[in-house]
Amino acid sequence: MDINVPPGTPCHSISDVEEAVKAWRRGGRSRTAAALEAGAGRWKEAGLSPTTLCCEPPCLPPDFTSQKLEAAGHTETVVKSQVLAGGRGMGKFKGGLQGGVHVCKTSEAVALARQMLGGTLVTKQTGAEGKPVDTLFLAEKMTFAREKYFAIVLDRKAGGPVVIACSEGGMSIEDLAESHPDKVVRVPVDIRTGMTRAEAERVVDALDCRGDREDAVALVSNLYRMFSEKDCTLVEVNPLAETSEGVLVAADAKIGFDDNAAFRQKDLFALRDEAQEDPREVAAARHDLNYIGLDGEIGCMVNGAGLAMATMDIIKLRGGTPANFLDVGGAATEGQVVEAFKILTADPRVKAILVNIFGGIMKCDVIAEGIVAAAREVGVPVPLVVRLEGTNVDAGKRILRESGMAITTADDLDDAADKAVAALSA
């Protein structure tokens, strides 16, 4: 599966950056970058195919050296913060450095890396907490003539993948779609048959590619193939750049993967950087709990996504703010309930906990035993309100009542929300 990308090196430490810079100084431009910019006429000379995955070591073989490239050398480097958030270029480090992506002289890359590695980058997508920058990506600065936008997303209305293409990129696609909707083309793809040549050609036409048409069709087809074979939920290439010779290069990209496919994409999921994720969400996933952290004060533990959403809504309606979405599922064990309480009580923002369980598959007495076990094992330093309804509800309430723990019971969801909100000011 061949896709053109700029040559680069991931760096986890200053020594990695220093080694990359030394390699570039010794070898000049990589043959990949040189070949991409030289155009289709130089592919055979470079020993490359028209579309190749460009992740080779930075080295320029003597038989490919030209006086022009030799004189230019590798003078500029792109230093990118590798964080799981968009808006890096416009972001700001808490240490004061503006921007999470920089183009600099190669001789200045190490000094710049010292300001970025280990720092916290705040962007419009990270929230005020920001994301830790533990890895930088050093890429060769390439010269592009035009920038385009390409993405594959899962579209609920279309019932499958949709390719979004625009001849203008390198900017917010949302803004462009609002100001020039006619320039944004959407091409639905039948997930059962895959992308056809006609669909790939329609995307190429929307991108207004000026180079070799067959190469462009091949690259678009390979991007869709990657989307399908790697169980992606999103492939966004912005910009999909074009050199002066018409060669398309995926200059920057954001790719999302389906968590449910982790069992067959083990190599990809082994690259997961948990430092970029909410530690509460990481802990919840280890115990098969569905958790999303919010910024409120009332911790929620519910069984079922719909009931969880309703619980958060009623908390908000009663004047409180939910601290999380936590769904223990329909078959949670006592151990999972204990782990759920550990996550909730570890959050310093949580001032009260509301447990709302409707027992169907999940039995109320099992939840009650888990709640009592958790309260005894980890302690519950904040008010705890529990509403149980459904299978074995009487047994569940009896377990709570006879536990001797400070647990407030509620008759229904309205009563539970009122008591949880009132507990904040108690």
Is 236 one of the annotated active-site residues of the chain? yes
User: Can you give the length of the chain in residues?
Assistant: 426
Q: How crowded is the C-beta side of 150, counted as CA atoms within 13 Å?
A: 32
Is 224 one of the annotated active-site residues of the chain? no
Does the bond joining 279 to the residue before it have cis omega, within 30 degrees of 0? Answer: no
Task: Give 75-96 as a DSSP string.
Answer: -EEEEEE--SSS--TT-EETTS
Beta-bridge partner residues of 322: 298
CA–centroid distance for 273 within its chain: 10
CA nearest 269: which of 230, 217, 211, 312?
Answer: 230
The helix/strand/coil state of 236 is strand
Locus of tokens 């920001």:
130
The catalytic position among 140, 149, 242, 291 is 149
Assess contact for 348 and 293: CB atoms under 8 A. Answer: no
| CA distance linking residue 132 with residue 275, whole number of Å | 7
The catalytic position among 37, 147, 236, 339 is 236
CA–centroid distance for 88 within its chain: 13
| CA distance linking residue 2 with residue 423, whole number of Å | 59
Locus of tokens 């492939």:
235
Query: Which burial class, exposed, middle or buried, applies to 157 when counting CB atoms under 10 A from its CB (0-12, 13-18, 19+)?
Result: exposed
CA nearest 139: which of 282, 298, 32, 265?
Answer: 32
CA nearest 140: which of 106, 98, 90, 112?
Answer: 106
| CA distance linking residue 157 with residue 152, whole number of Å | 14
Q: How crowded is the C-beta side of 145, counted as CA atoms within 13 Å?
A: 15
In sequence order, the 6+-apart residues with CB closer than 8 A to the CB of 59 are: 23, 26, 27, 30, 31
Q: Report which secondary-structure segment, H or E, holds 150.
A: strand 146-155
Active-site positions read: 149, 236
